[in-house]
């Protein structure tokens, strides 16, 4: 076994210092060391997107990033996007538009959608589909996920306008 290394991660605004082996994947460190279990392990082969988190300003599949690569990074998971009492507009829209059924893909979907809307606050339906194409859902057929993302975009934009 190789020497453990000290890794600093800021997850959802909280700074964590952990000792981990370099070969530990970010998803394992999040779930097993930090008990942040929103990001799911689906395919483990960087296809399904269930493990998607935001690293800096990038959506990444945390099953294909070593925690060592993320040393020093700011990570946002679904836990950082809303609370049960104050849902993020995307969470509210997924509930309202039935954007989930079993819910397994949902944390990755919403985390990815949040970054998509930060980069493109007014996406077309096609841009949503293309921008979400790294996340697989086996229940919904995607239609309601796309509706939910578009609805959340409208909510976020009107809240911004109201604030101005």
Partner 1 sequence: MIPAAFEYHRPGDLPSALALLQQHGDEARVIAGGHSLIPMMKLRMAEVPHLIDLQAIDALRGIRIDGTRITLGAMVTQHELIAHEGLARVAPILREAALQIADPQVRYMGTIGGNVANGDPGNDMPGLMQCLDATFHVTGPGGERAIPARSFYESAYMTAREEDEILTAVSFDAPTGGQAYEKQKRKIGDYATAAAAVILTRSGATCTHASIAMTNLSDVPVWSEAAGAALTGTPCDEAAMLNAIAAMLADIDPAGDNRGPVEFKRHTAGIILARAIARAWSRA
Which residues in this chain contact partner 1 in the complex, by CB under 8 A? 1-3, 5, 21-25, 44-47, 49, 52, 58-61, 64-66, 68-69, 71, 112, 116, 130-134
CB of 111 to partner 1, least distance (A): 10
**Smaller CB separation from partner 1, 37 or 46:** 46
126 versus 161: smaller Cβ distance to partner 1: 126
Q: Which is nearer to partner 1, 100 or 116 (CB)?
A: 116
Q: Could you tell me the strand order of the sheet in which 52-55 lies?
A: 14-20, 5-11, 74-76, 52-55, 58-61
- Smallest gap, in angstroms, from Cβ of residue 26 to partner 1? 11
C-alpha–C-alpha distance, residues 10 and 32, integer Å: 16
Beta strand pairing call for 14-20 and 58-61: unpaired
Q: Cα(111)–Cα(114) distance, rounded to whole angstroms?
A: 5
Smallest gap, in angstroms, from Cβ of residue 102 to partner 1?
21
User: Which is nearer to partner 1, 64 or 101 (by Cβ)?
Assistant: 64
User: What is the total residue count of the chain?
Assistant: 164
Distance between CA atoms of 117 and 160, rounded to whole angstroms?
A: 13
Q: How far is the CB of 87 from partner 1 (least distance, A)?
A: 24
């Amino acid at each position: 076994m190789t020497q453990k290394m000290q890794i600093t991660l800021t997850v959802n605004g909280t700074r964590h210092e952990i000792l981990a082996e370099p070969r530990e994947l970010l998803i394992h460190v999040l779930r097993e060391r930090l008990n942040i279990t929103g990001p799911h392990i689906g395919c483990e082969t960087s296809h399904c997107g269930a493990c998607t988190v935001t690293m800096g300003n990038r959506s990444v599949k945390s099953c294909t990033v070593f925690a060592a690569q993320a040393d020093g990074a700011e990570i946002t998971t679904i836990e950082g996007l809303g609370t049960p009492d104050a849902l993020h507009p995307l969470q509210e829209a997924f509930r309202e538009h039935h954007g989930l059924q079993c819910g397994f893909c949902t944390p990755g979907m919403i985390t990815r959608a949040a970054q998509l809307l930060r980069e493109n606050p007014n996406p077309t339906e096609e841009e949503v589909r293309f921008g979400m194409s790294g996340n697989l859902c086996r229940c919904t057929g995607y239609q309601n996920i796309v509706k939910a993302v578009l609805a959340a975009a409208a909510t976020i934009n009107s809240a911004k306008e109201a604030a101005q």
